[in-house]
Every structure is written in C-alpha cells, then in structure tokens.
C-alpha cells in the first residue's frame, strides 16, 4: 500500500472496474501533448472501453497504429511547432517570454476553441461519448462540459500550472523563495503576470465563453484549464513539485505519464562500448527542436578532446549525417533515435532541453540532469530540476561548451545530486499511472453529471 493523493492505494490491479464507456481523447497536435496520453488510451481500450481520438496532423496515423479510431480535425486548424512560423511569421519578431506566451495562448490555444467545439459537437452527434480526456492545452473540452452531458478529464503534461500564493507564476521559470518576504514576492509576481501582462488572454477566454452563453470565470487562464475539469490527472509526483499552499480538490498526481511502447524492446547495441569510459553523457534536444547548434553541438564541442567521456547523441532526425561527418571522434555516438529505456542504465548524466517525458524517465533511471530549456514551459521543468537538486538548471536554451562541461562536473562531483535522484526515483516507483488513472476515472464516472468536482474522494 502507498499513501497517494490523500488516501491509500494498492499498486496491484484495481478491484473495481468501470462499465464500458465511450471515451474520446482530444489533444493538441504537439508531441508533448499527444504522446504522454497514449499509454492511458491503450490501457482504457484494453479494459473494454470504446476509446477514440480527436487530433490533427500526422498524429492521426499514430492513433490508428495504436489500434484506435481516429477523428481528424475538420474545422479545427492544425497549429503546432511544425508550421507555426509559416502561419504566424510575426511571432519570430516577438521579444520577451511573456509576450510570446501571450501570443501563443491566443493564436495556438484559445482561438482554436470555437473550431474545436464545432468538431466535437459533430462527433457527439455521430457518437455520443461519455467522457473527454484532454491535455491541458486543449481548452475546448472544458467548454463542452457545460454545453453537453459529458464529463472532462484534464491531463497535466507539464508541471502543475495552477497558480498558488507560495509559487511564482507559471512561465517565468523561477524557484519559490522561502519565508514571508519570498511569498510576498511570489504573490506580487502572480498579480503582475496574471492580472496585468496576461490579462488579454484571460479576457479572450471569457469573451469566447460569452459566445456560448457561459458565465465568465475569474482569474487566470491556466487556473481555468485545471479547475474547470471534472478531474485533473497530473503527470509526475508531488516530490517533483514546488511546495504549495493549496491544490484544487480535483487534482490527482498519478506518476509519470510516458508514451506507449510495446514490450519487445531492443537492447542498446553499443552497451559494451560504454564500459570503456569513465563517464557517459546522453544529450538530446527532443524531436521538435531542429537547431542542433543549441545543445547538441555545444555538448560535442565540450568533449571532443576528452577521451574519458563517451557522448551519446539522439538528434530526433535532425542533421544526423552532417553531425557524424563534422564530429568523427571515436568517443561520440550520434543516432537519429535511441530507446532511452535501453540506454539510460549506462549513462552518467543526461543533458536535455527539458522535455517533461525525458526528464521523468531519467529520474526513474536514477539519472541526474543538466537542463538547458526556456520556451514552451521547459523553463518550469528546468526550475524544478534545480530546486529539487536532481540536476543543474543552466537557465538558457543556448549553453556554451564550458557551461555544459562545468555542469556535468558539478553533478558528478557532488553526491547530493545522486542522493536526491534516488529519492525521487523511489517516489516515482510508488505510482502506477494507468491503474491510478483508472481508479480516479472510475470514481468520476460513478458520479452524476454536474456533481461538484470537490466530491471526489
């Protein structure tokens, strides 16, 4: 038994089973929004539920590969990092993190809501689903919850975005400060960011609600995406979160939500090579970031004359052949993709731009982290890495070779990082994400439509 989210939970399979339900997954067409939900979708389908998925772009093919029915975007515009600069060239000229967030909230997320509602209503007319499971960026479902007799489960695919008096506002990538003065600073920053700098996004949210005859909701848009859901499943564990004064009663931490993968994993083919080196550094900048000069090249530069360090690079398919030609050193392995579960047991330090899934996987493998990420919420993940002392937050997305080399040396020279990583790894091990999600969704479906979320046990 484990004490999780305020009550005991056994890590064996739940004795309670849901009656078959029609469950629609609805996600933004970003890998970080789509992939973390795939494991849960397959799990629910295997339990006998009719699980289908609404998503745009090439993710439709991924849905069908999971064996699920795919509903494509029809009226909803597919906007993601693959076409963002082409659709909105003015975005590249925006200076400042807050200004970019304000633009993205409007153009990528909020202005898609009417389109999402049209598509979701059309799906409901054909297939009246009981439940929507949506990532935190898909806002249309929380509107539909008030327009149709359906329930909504939100999924936090990044650290908890709900505001709190003890925590600096989401988007700044700041660590909380202790004491009365520190908390006063956090409250002031929350006011400035939420009620002043991002007020246009809050206003747009309520303008859209008014179009459907819905009452305005007070406060911050990030709070609404959490609190308006009937149930909010937060990927991660409390130990990888800042201390908070309160958390909304509909929020449940369920452990690391990672992409679905079939059991036939291949071993790391060059495992023997790792044994010849004093240290092994794994570096990635995800599948979306195409500029290898940001993290990959500085890491290779840092160790190109170091015969004691093996650097393993996963490029995500960006410039792999060119990098191999540019860096032919024997202590470099450069591949498009490598199964992280296979390679991480051989690694000393993980260097990353801060993708949430990769970070949680590294922590499960007791692997300390060097984080170099700023945009798309990665600064919030990096801040938690630094705060929890499981790695070094470089507070930049363009580190120098010297910064990377010194950060790796700092981690390997201080047992604190290993100790804290082991602690978090143990906490991750006490959570079974699919079984916890199954239990909480079961509890939700046992309620009548419209029953307050606070009634969740």
What CATH topology corresponds to 22-255+431-446?
Rossmann fold (3.40.50)
Confidence at residue 171, expressed as pLDDT on a 0 to 100 scale: 83
Q: Does position 1 have pLDDT exceeding 80, yes or no?
A: no
Considering the chain, what is the average pLDDT of its residues? 91
Q: Does position 453 have pLDDT exceeding 90, yes or no?
A: no
In this predicted model, which residue has the larger pLDDT, 2 or 283?
A: 283
Confidence at residue 5, expressed as pLDDT on a 0 to 100 scale: 41
pLDDT grade, residue 451 (50/70/90)? low
Phi, psi of 154 (to 5 degrees): -90, 150
Confidence at residue 18, expressed as pLDDT on a 0 to 100 scale: 59
Confidence at residue 403, expressed as pLDDT on a 0 to 100 scale: 97
pLDDT grade, residue 15 (50/70/90)? very low
Of 127, 91, 112, 18, the residue nearest 376 (C-alpha): 91
Confidence at residue 4, expressed as pLDDT on a 0 to 100 scale: 41
Please report, for the chain, the start and end positions of each structural domain, with discontinuous segments joined by +: 22-255+431-446, 270-429
Q: Does position 444 have pLDDT exceeding 70, yes or no?
A: yes
User: How far lies 304's CA from each of 251, 372, 405, 412, in Å?
Assistant: 46, 20, 11, 19
Measured between alpha carbons, how far is 244 from 174 in angstroms, rounded to an integer? 14
What CATH topology corresponds to 270-429?
Rossmann fold (3.40.50)
Contact 355, 361 (CB under 8 A): no
The mean per-residue pLDDT over the stretch 24-36 comes to 96
Q: Does position 264 have pLDDT exceeding 80, yes or no?
A: no
The mean per-residue pLDDT over the stretch 379-396 comes to 96
Same fold for the domain at 22-255+431-446 and the one at 270-429?
yes
Identify the burial level of 213 via C-beta atoms within 10 angstroms of its C-beta, where 0-12 means exposed, 13-18 middle and 19 or more buried: exposed
Lowest mean pLDDT among 10-14, 30-34, 38-42: 10-14
Q: Which residues contact 298 (CB under 8 A, 6 or more apart)?
A: 398, 399, 400, 401, 403, 404
Of 122, 69, 80, the residue nearest 104 (C-alpha): 80
Q: Does position 116 have pLDDT exceeding 60, yes or no?
A: yes
In this predicted model, which residue has the larger pLDDT, 419 or 450?
A: 419
Query: What are the tens digits of pLDDT across the range 195-244?
Result: 999 999 999 999 999 999 999 998 899 999 999 999 999 999 999 999 99
Measured between alpha carbons, how far is 373 from 356 in angstroms, rounded to an integer? 11
Confidence at residue 406, expressed as pLDDT on a 0 to 100 scale: 98
Query: What are the tens digits of pLDDT across the range 51-79?
Result: 999 999 999 999 999 999 999 999 999 99
pLDDT grade, residue 344 (50/70/90)? very high
């Amino acid at each position: 038994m484990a004490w999780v989210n305020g009550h005991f939970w056994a890590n064996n399979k739940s004795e309670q089973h849901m009656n078959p339900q029609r469950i629609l997954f609805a996600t933004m067409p970003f890998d970080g929004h789509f992939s973390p939900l795939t494991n849960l979708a397959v799990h629910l389908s295997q339990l006998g539920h009719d699980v289908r998925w609404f998503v745009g772009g090439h993710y439709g093919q991924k849905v069908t590969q999971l064996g699920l029915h795919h509903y494509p975007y029809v009226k909803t515009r597919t906007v993601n990092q693959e076409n963002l600069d082409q659709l909105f060239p003015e975005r590249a000229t925006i200076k400042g993190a807050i200004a970019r967030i304000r633009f993205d909230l409007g153009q990528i997320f909020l202005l898609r809501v009417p389109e999402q509602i049209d598509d979701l209503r059309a799906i409901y007319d054909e297939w009246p689903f009981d439940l929507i499971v949506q990532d935190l960026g898909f806002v249309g479902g929380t509107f539909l919850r008030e327009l149709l007799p359906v329930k909504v489960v939100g999924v936090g695919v990044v650290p908890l975005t709900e505001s709190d008096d003890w925590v600096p506002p989401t988007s700044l990538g700041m660590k909380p400060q202790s004491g009365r003065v520190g908390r006063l600073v956090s409250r002031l920053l929350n006011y400035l960011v939420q009620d002043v700098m991002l007020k246009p996004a809050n206003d747009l949210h309520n303008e859209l609600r008014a179009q459907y005859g819905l009452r305005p909701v007070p406060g911050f848009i990030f709070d609404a995406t959490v609190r308006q859901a009937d149930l909010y499943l937060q990927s991660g564990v409390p130990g990888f979160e800042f201390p908070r004064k309160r958390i909304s009663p509909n929020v449940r931490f369920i452990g690391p939500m990672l992409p679905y993968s079939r059991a036939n994993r291949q071993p790391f083919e060059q495992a023997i090579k790792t044994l010849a080196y004093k240290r092994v550094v794994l570096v990635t900048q995800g599948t979306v970031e195409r500029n290898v000069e940001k993290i990959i090249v500085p890491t290779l530069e840092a160790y190109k004359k170091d015969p004691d360090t093996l650097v393993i690079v996963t490029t995500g398919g960006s410039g792999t052949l060119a990098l191999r030609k540019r860096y032919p050193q024997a202590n470099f392995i450069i591949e498009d993709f490598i199964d992280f579960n296979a390679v991480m047991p051989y690694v000393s330090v993980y260097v990353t731009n801060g993708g949430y899934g990769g970070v949680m996987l590294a922590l499960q493998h007791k692997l300390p982290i060097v984080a170099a990420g700023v945009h798309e919420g990665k600064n919030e993940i990096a801040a938690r890495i630094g705060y929890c002392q499981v790695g070094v937050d470089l507070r930049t997305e363009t580190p120098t070779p010297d910064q990377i080399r010194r950060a790796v040396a700092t981690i390997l020279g201080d047992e604190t990082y290993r100790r804290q990583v082991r602690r978090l790894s143990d906490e991750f091990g006490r959570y079974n994400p699919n079984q916890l999600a199954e239990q909480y969704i079961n509890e939700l479906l046992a309620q009548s439509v419209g029953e307050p979320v606070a009634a969740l046990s």
